[in-house]
Amino acid sequence: MATGSQPPEAHPLAPASYRVRARRRETRDTVTLELRAPGGAAAPSWRPGQFNMLGLPGVGEVPISISGGSQDGRLLQHTIRAVGPVTSALAGLRPGGRVGLRGPFGSAWPLEQAAGRDLLVLAGGLGLVPLRPVLRAVAARRRLYGRVSLLYGARAPQDILFRGELAAWRRAGVAVEVAVDRAQPSWRGRVGVVTDLLAGVAPEPGRTDAWICGPEIMMRFSVRELQRLGLDRGGMRLHLSLERNMKCAIGQCGHCQLGPFFICKDGPVFPYDRIAPWLAVEEL
């Protein structure tokens, strides 16, 4: 994975034409596309938590988190769930197909700040996507961190993303726990919500960085549960990734405004303290 946060070289509103090199089906409605930069050049460097705008001419353009990349920085991975016209068209692309890409945009997870501390990652559904590069980075340099846990909630066993990697992270010393909302009796894992899994972790507020990404309601419940465990007393450092819809991605159109912030520019990753007053408000 490339590091650093230089802005993309091209004008931020002008997409570059990337080619689909591989396509992998993750679940019924979700695929991972591996994209290659034009002319085999290196893609702009990016940090875990950032996103790109992916577009198709005549269809539209949407923000999609960066879910991974190759060591040499030539390939970018995006994991896309088909929910509407643009994401369905993107998810339907085949190797050789082309996609317009602008980015990377937005803030990143504060990986450097977490070194030497415990890291508690809570992911819900597709919220695992922007956290996947975090877990890859942490698994590769596991010794830099204290206890590392991933608590991941999914709808049903067949919706669990990156199964192979979950196992690899476990082998690398990450405590990976998965809970699904519903399951057939043949399922041998956990049934319940992601916050149930906190009982087995017992995070120590004073030395924990907690990062959450998932549907907003899942994040609210998670924050509440972390508060119950002493988050506000012990100095636990909490970050959330807010993925409300956006258009321009550079803080111009106001589509993704949250209180005084633009999610595309100031986020999507925010320290909880900064956005707490706006999070609790309904229908922002």
Partner 1 sequence: MKKDLETMLAGHPFCKDFKREQLRQLAGCAANARYETGRFLLRQGGGATRFFLIRRGLVRVELFMPGRGPVLIQTLGPGEALGWSWLVEPYRWAFSARAAEPTLALAFDGACLRRKLDRDSELGYRILKRFIAVLAARLDATRLQLMDIYGDRVPAA
Ligand X SMILES: Cc1cc2nc3c(=O)[nH]c(=O)nc-3n(C[C@H](O)[C@H](O)[C@H](O)COP(=O)(O)OP(=O)(O)OC[C@H]3O[C@@H](n4cnc5c(N)ncnc54)[C@H](O)[C@@H]3O)c2cc1C
Which of 56, 129, 176, 197 is the binder for ligand X (CB under 6 A)? 129
Residue 85 binds: one of ligand X, partner 1, none (C-beta under 5 to 8 A by kind): ligand X
**Least CB distance from residue 152 to ligand X, whole Å?**
15
The reply to whether 203 sits near partner 1 by the rule CB under 8 A is no
Which of 75, 80, 121, 194 is the binder for ligand X (CB under 6 A)? 80
207 or 247: whose CB is closer to ligand X? 247
Residue 60 binds: one of partner 1, ligand X, none (C-beta under 5 to 8 A by kind): ligand X
SS3 readout for the chain: CCCCCCCCCCCCCCCEEEEEEEEEEEECCEEEEEEECHHHCCCCCCCCCCEEEEEECCCEEEEEECCEECCCCCEEEEEEECCCHHHHHHHCCCCCCEEEEEEEECCCCCHHHHCCCEEEEEEEHHHHHHHHHHHHHHHHCHHHCCCEEEEEEECCHHHCCCHHHHHHHHHCCCEEEEEECCCCCCCCCEECCHHHHHHHCCCCHHHEEEEEECCHHHHHHHHHHHHHCCHHHHCCEEEEECCCCCCCCCCCCCCCEECCEEHHHHCCEEEHHHHHHHHCCCCC
> How many residues at the interface with partner 1, by CB under 8 A?
44
The reply to whether 214 sits near ligand X by the rule CB under 6 A is no
**Least CB distance from residue 10 to ligand X, whole Å?**
20
The reply to whether 86 sits near ligand X by the rule CB under 6 A is yes
Which of 13, 83, 167, 284 is the binder for ligand X (CB under 6 A)? 83
Which of 37, 62, 160, 218 is the binder for ligand X (CB under 6 A)? 62
Q: Which residue is nearest to ligand X (CB)?
A: 84
**Least CB distance from residue 243 to ligand X, whole Å?**
4
The reply to whether 281 sits near partner 1 by the rule CB under 8 A is no
Whether residue 6 contacts residue 45, with contact meaning beta carbons closer than 8 Å, is answered with yes
The reply to whether 199 sits near partner 1 by the rule CB under 8 A is yes
Which of 268, 269, 272, 275 is the binder for ligand X (CB under 6 A)? 268
Q: Give me the residues that bind ligand X (CB under 6 A), please.
A: 51, 60, 62-65, 79-81, 83-88, 126, 129, 243-246, 268
